[in-house]
Structure formats: structure tokens, C-alpha cells
Amino acid sequence: MGQQLLIYNTLSRQKELFRPINEGHVGMYVCGPTVYGDGHLGHARPAITFDVVFRYLQHIGYKVRYVRNITDVGHLEHDADEGEDKIAKKARLEQLEPMEVAQYYTNRYHSAMDRLNVLPPSIEPHASGHIMEQIALVQSILDAGLAYVSNGSVYFDVRKYQEDTHKYGQLSGRVIDEMLATTRELDGQEEKRFPSDFALWKKASPEHIMRWPSPWSDGFPGWHAECTAMGAKYLGSPFDIHGGGMDLVFPHHESEIAQCVASTGHAPCRYWMHNNMITINGQKMGKSLGNFITLDEFFTGSHKLLDQPYSPMTIRFFILQAHYRSTVDFSNEALQAAEKGCSKLMEAYKALGRIAPTQNAESGIQNYRQLCYDAMNDDFATPTVISHLFEAAKTINGAADGKVKLSQADIDELKGVFDTFLFDILGMRDEASEGGNGQLEDGLMQIILDIRAAAKANKDWTTSDKIRDSLNALGVTVKDGKDGATWQI
Ligand SMILES: [Zn+2]
């Protein structure tokens, strides 16, 4: 299966057969959050997209090292080279240490990701913990003659890079003229030789709290330096996959390529993957537009645009119902449809346990497993996987109603397909039967019911009644049937 995996590469603008640099191993780097505010949908989408990529690569047998960074320094307002550091600004406004702000929002981000069932990455490096590596990167670009020092700051020399026949703009498809037109007029621009030059190191102004010593000035690294330095440190150079949101293609990823080529002579990675953006009721999401909804607000339903709370799995399912390269538009109607669809699949999975298998039933079910693998191998087509699961759910419901005959092997296969694709690869959880940890609850209840069954077999009615009554007192009803006891909350 692994050999046929196709990945759309933003750089070549086509699907390519995935071949890792080191057989059996995959190195993947994804740009993580800038931790100065609560997580929102713009954070959920790349996290969920690359969580599924991470899960699937592991499922098909790769040993994956997944690095997702935490930007806690250097990301300035307006995504430009001027303005205040986002975290330092928040710290000033809230009268906190900058690292207190970063820690607080990092913790909040982790807890939201946990609720969305996003697996933690293998390594989560912080930009502030890798200043030495970034200084070394800047020095090597200076040594290559592709950067210059200006008033204590260091800038990447885009024109020089172009003259050396490298293409700044290859990833985004932008041309220099166009970049010039979109470069904002901000103070500090006079330090640059050319408007498209970007900062590798910034000299800190006297009031700037976050600063480190360097050969050029006391200051801080430019935003793009951290991913180049940390990706190479933990994954080697080049590595396999670099991911992130489409909004990062320019200038962030374009500049990452330039920095890596300038310092090493080769590109940072083989495959560039970008998830598309999320709109809300057809509009771009933005703080100034009043449609900026945090993940917590979705979970609690506390934003004025929301008709009701939406559970983490509803959000996850909704995101996976669209292909990661398509835009997603959030609306109450769409979320409610996702909520229904999700519970339909969960109910079908549970109904599998109620189907009486038919002896000698000739298998009429489709090869859902293969269909789902084909979809995943086609650039992670999660909407297609979900549509196959809906088809499978129809078969299951038909069998539960006695309209379709299934053998025990069919039932086992359907259960396997759901376990593999819905739960392991798409990373969905059955929230309805959870109340915390559903699997643990099921396991514990099975142990208790086994002890009770043993007591009954020994005619120890005192113990068996005590277990039933104690469970009753906790709100758990035990029903005795001919195939043993079942339970319900
Ligand atoms: Zn990055």
C-alpha cells in the first residue's frame, strides 16, 4: 500500500508518488502555532490534517518523526519584518512575562488539541530554545554572501539570491514585481537594500524585552529562521514532508526555502503540503470582522454566531469531510449536518454488535477496506473514505433490520474497517459512549461483569446481587440475558 501513496506537492503543483529519503522512515515538519492567543479553527485544520497524515503514514508501516514547533518569539505583527512581537505585545497588554504568555497559551493549545484527538507530535521544539541554531543559520547565509548586516539587523539579500539563478517565488508562484507591490511601507524599510529582503535577525529596540546576544546586536531571530533551523536539526537536511496552512506559502515557506538553499545549496524538503483555509459563513475569519470563534467557544457554544455547542468530534468530522486542499466554510447548518453524520456512523458501529450472523450467507459486501485504502493513497482523500463508511453503515443498518444477510466474517470485516479507518486513521472517538474514556469504561465494566458471572456460577448470590445493586446505585443498569449480562448507563 505504502508504495502507491500519492501526495500533492505544492512545489510541482501535481500529485507525486511518495518516496521517502530513508526507506521505512519519514521526517515531517509542520508549522505550529504562534502562542499569543486561544486556539481557533485556523489552528484546528492544519493540526487535524497533519494528524491524519501522521496516523496514516504510521499505519502503512513507516516510522515517522513528526516535528511541530511552537513559535514563542520572532513572529511580528502583520507577518512582516516590522511591528511588535506578537507575544511581547500580549505580555505588555496583560502585564505578564512573555514566557508566561507563551506557556499559558501553549497549555491551552495542548488541551484543545487533546480534545480534538490530535496526537502529540514526536518533537515539539520552541523557537526560543533554539536561538543558537538560528544564529548559526544566519551566519552561514552571511558566509555564503546572501545576506547583509544593516544597523545591527541582518537581512536576506533577495536580489543577490536571484542573480545566483535561484528562484525566490518558486513555491508561491509569485514574481518579484508582484512581491514589491504587496510589500507594506513600514518603518525600518530603509535598512533594507531591496523591499523584498526579509529579516534573518532583528536588533532589539531598547524597550524590547525578548532579546538575545548575537554577533550583530542584542536582538531576536526573524520569524522564518526557526523552522529552517529546527527542521534541519531534528529531521536532517533535506527531510521528506513540510506542511502547514496555505497562508504560510508566502512569505514564510518561500523564505524557508531561500534560507535553506542559501546555507546548504539544496532545498529543505521533498514534498510541500498545504491545507486550505477556513471561512465562516463565506467570509474570511478575522478578529476585526467579529467572526473570530475560538475552539473553546465552539465547544461551549458561547459565541453569538453559534446556535449551539459543537463537540470536538463534530469539528474534527466536519474538517475531514472536506479534502484538505479544499476550502471549508463553517456554518451552523453545516456543523449540524456533520454532527448527524458523525453519530450515524457511531450508531452503525454499535449496531454491528446486534446483528445475528447468517450461516452460509454468500458475502455481498463490497471491499470497503480496499476502497478506503485507495482513497487515502490518493492524496489523503478523507471525504471519499467517509462516503465509503456511510455506504458500509447502510449495509450494517440493513442487516440490523433483518433486510440484509451478513456472515460472521462480513460482520468482523465491517468492524475491522470501522476500527481501522474511522477510529485509527481518521482519529474519531465515540463521544456518546465516552463520558471520559469509553474504552477504559468498557474494559472495567467487562471485568466487573465477569466477576459477577463467576459469583453466579458459584451460586454466590450475595456477591452477584451486591455487584448489581452497587452498579444500580451508580446509575448503571445490568440486564441478564441468555448470552450473559449487558449494561447501560
Ligand atoms: Zn514555520
CA of 31 to the centre of ligand 1 (A): 4
What is residue 288's DSSP assignment? G
Q: Does the pLDDT at position 186 exceed 60?
A: no
| Mean pLDDT of all residues belonging to the chain | 90
Looking at residue 211, its pLDDT comes to 92
User: Looking at 75-79, 237-241, 390-394, which range is the least confident one?
Assistant: 75-79
CA of 70 to the centre of ligand 1 (A): 9
Contact 64, 335 (CB under 8 A): no
pLDDT over 90 percentage in the chain: 67
CA of 441 to the centre of ligand 1 (A): 40
Tens-digit pLDDT profile for residues 114-135? 999 999 999 999 999 999 999 9
CA of 242 to the centre of ligand 1 (A): 9
CA of 268 to the centre of ligand 1 (A): 12
User: Looking at 165-179, 192-206, 391-405, which range is the least confident one?
Assistant: 165-179
Q: State whether the Cα torsion 135-137-142-147 is positive or negative.
A: negative
Alpha-carbon dihedral of residues 369, 374, 379, 382, nearest 10 degrees? Answer: -40
User: How far separated are the first and last CA of the chain, in Å rounded?
Assistant: 41
Q: 201 forms bridges with which residues in the sheet?
A: 154, 221
C-alpha–C-alpha distance, residues 378 and 388, integer Å: 14
Q: Determine what percent of the chain falls in helix, strand and coil, rounding each to the nearest 5.
A: 50, 15, 35
Which three cell numbers, joined as nine digits, stand for 417? 474497517
CA of 234 to the centre of ligand 1 (A): 14
Q: Which residues contact 289 (CB under 8 A, 6 or more apart)?
A: 283
CA of 233 to the centre of ligand 1 (A): 14
Q: Which residues contact 344 (CB under 8 A, 6 or more apart)?
A: 390, 393
CA of 252 to the centre of ligand 1 (A): 7
Tens-digit pLDDT profile for residues 196-223? 899 999 999 887 888 999 999 999 999 9
Looking at residue 286, its pLDDT comes to 72
What is residue 239's three-state secondary structure? strand
Report the alpha-carbon angle 37-40-41, nearest 5.
155
Report the alpha-carbon angle 453-455-459, nearest 5.
110
CB neighbours of residue 409 within 10 Å: 12
CA of 224 to the centre of ligand 1 (A): 6
CA of 253 to the centre of ligand 1 (A): 7
CA of 260 to the centre of ligand 1 (A): 13
CA of 226 to the centre of ligand 1 (A): 7
Consecutive H or E run containing 63: strand 63-68
Looking at residue 486, its pLDDT comes to 78
Report all structural domains of the chain as residue ranges with CATH numbers, in order of start.
20-275 (3.40.50.620), 280-425 (1.10.730), 438-488 (no CATH)
pLDDT top residue among 488 and 321: 321
Give the CA diameter of the chain. 90
Mean pLDDT calculated for residue range 392-400: 95
* Type of residue numbered 390: F
C-alpha–C-alpha distance, residues 137 and 184, integer Å: 26
Looking at residue 79, its pLDDT comes to 58
Q: State whether the Cα torsion 195-181-134-241 is positive or negative.
A: negative
CA of 29 to the centre of ligand 1 (A): 8
CA of 12 to the centre of ligand 1 (A): 20
Looking at residue 1, its pLDDT comes to 45
Mean pLDDT calculated for residue range 390-415: 94
CA of 431 to the centre of ligand 1 (A): 33
Q: Rg for the chain (alpha carbons), in Å?
A: 27
CA of 116 to the centre of ligand 1 (A): 22
CA of 255 to the centre of ligand 1 (A): 10
Looking at residue 184, its pLDDT comes to 52
Looking at residue 182, its pLDDT comes to 54
Tens-digit pLDDT profile for residues 428-472? 999 887 755 556 777 788 889 889 989 999 999 999 999 999 988
CA of 68 to the centre of ligand 1 (A): 9
What is residue 263's three-state secondary structure? helix
Residue 350, class by beta-carbon neighbours within 10 Å (0-12 exposed, 13-18 middle, 19+ buried)? middle
C-alpha–C-alpha distance, residues 283 and 286, integer Å: 9
Contact 435, 475 (CB under 8 A): no
CA of 149 to the centre of ligand 1 (A): 23
State the alpha helices, DSSP H only, in 267-381.
295-300, 312-320, 332-351, 368-377
Highest mean pLDDT among 16-25, 272-281, 286-295, 476-485: 16-25
C-alpha–C-alpha distance, residues 220 and 360, integer Å: 71
Looking at residue 488, its pLDDT comes to 74
Looking at residue 82, its pLDDT comes to 64
Looking at residue 81, its pLDDT comes to 63
Looking at residue 52, its pLDDT comes to 98
Q: Does the pLDDT at position 411 exceed 50?
A: yes
CA of 412 to the centre of ligand 1 (A): 43
Looking at residue 437, its pLDDT comes to 52
Q: Does the pLDDT at position 235 exceed 90?
A: yes
C-alpha–C-alpha distance, residues 402 and 388, integer Å: 21
C-alpha–C-alpha distance, residues 96 and 62, integer Å: 43
pLDDT top residue among 293 and 439: 293
Q: Does the pLDDT at position 163 exceed 50?
A: yes
Looking at residue 2, its pLDDT comes to 46
Looking at residue 389, its pLDDT comes to 98
Question: How many Cα atoms within 13 Å fall on the side-chain side of residue 210?
Answer: 30
Q: Does the pLDDT at position 183 exceed 60?
A: no
